[in-house]
Amino acid sequence: MPHVELASGIRIRYDERGRRDARPIVLAHGFSVGLEMWFPQMHALSQDHRLICWDARGHGGSSAPEDIESYTMPALAEDLRGLLEALDAVDGAVIGGMSFGGQIATQYAVDHASDVHALVLSDTTTRGNAGTDPIRSQEYPEWAGDPGMEGCRRAMRTRPDLTDALKDLQVPTLVIVGMQDGMILPGLHRLDGLPRRRLVRFDGCVHGTSSQRPGDWGDEVLRFLADVDAGHALGEDELI
């Protein structure tokens, strides 16, 4: 797969499909996986859009700097910015992500709201005002010594709390969550402040809706984007 070398020295692996003159859909993967997690959605999402999936630093075929402190959520969002600038895909992009990738997408949307056409937040929420993330603060011996995994865990633990910033974010946003996702549901209310939001709850799903119901996940994204483009109301909450 191709790579982009950013001005920062970070090398980002990506996969690109669909027409280059179509609107970009850009998807960030979950923690400890890579862009391959989007394979089940790639065909459907690339039919009428320019689909770009990418590996965050520390993952897959992208760079994994040894300096753990270089991994921050704003830095990961700027890696995404650099990738899109290199691919001439900044303007009017749909930015999305799952869990850890959703955190990157949220940070990017707050930092670059005027360039984002729509936002897709799957299985993710803001940090809240707690000092640490209790789940990501657990010890995982299997990742000890892996700078990518340790660094991205640090980025999640120390990410800025964007809950209040979302109240001013006028970007149409699709929020997807599993009805049995014990990791995200307790903090899902922190996304209530999004002014232009559609919430879709997937029945029977725990964390990772896109892998458990891949066809439905892609269909909901495409339906949402069609409604955004048509100017339809987005505020309904749905259970599917």
**CATH number, domain at 223?**
3.40.50.1820
DSSP assignment of 23-42 equals: PEEEEEPPTT--GGGGHHHH
Cα separation, 93 vs 233, whole angstroms: 20
Tens digit of each residue's pLDDT, the chain (240 residues): 899 999 999 999 999 999 999 999 999 999 999 999 999 999 999 999 999 999 999 999 999 999 999 999 999 999 999 999 999 999 999 999 999 999 999 999 999 999 999 999 999 999 998 655 544 445 566 666 899 999 999 999 999 999 999 999 999 999 999 999 999 999 999 999 999 999 999 999 999 999 999 999 999 999 999 999 999 999 878 999
Q: Which helix (H) or strand (E) holds 238?
A: strand 237-239
Q: Which helix (H) or strand (E) holds 234?
A: none
Q: How would you list the strands of the sheet with 173-178, edge to edge?
A: 3-5, 11-17, 50-54, 24-28, 93-98, 116-122, 173-178, 197-202, 237-239
Euclidean distance between the first and final Cα of the chain, in Å? 35
Q: Are strands 197-202 and 11-17 parallel, antiparallel or unpaired?
A: unpaired
Q: Are 76 and 58 in contact (CB under 8 A)?
A: no
| Residue 88 domain boundaries | 3-239
Residue 122 carries which side chain, given as an amino acid letter?
S
Residue 136: the pLDDT is 47
Cα separation, 209 vs 201, whole angstroms: 9
Cβ-count burial of 7 within 10 angstroms (0-12 exposed, 13-18 middle, 19+ buried)? exposed
Count: domains in the chain: 1
> Coil, helix or strand for 3?
strand
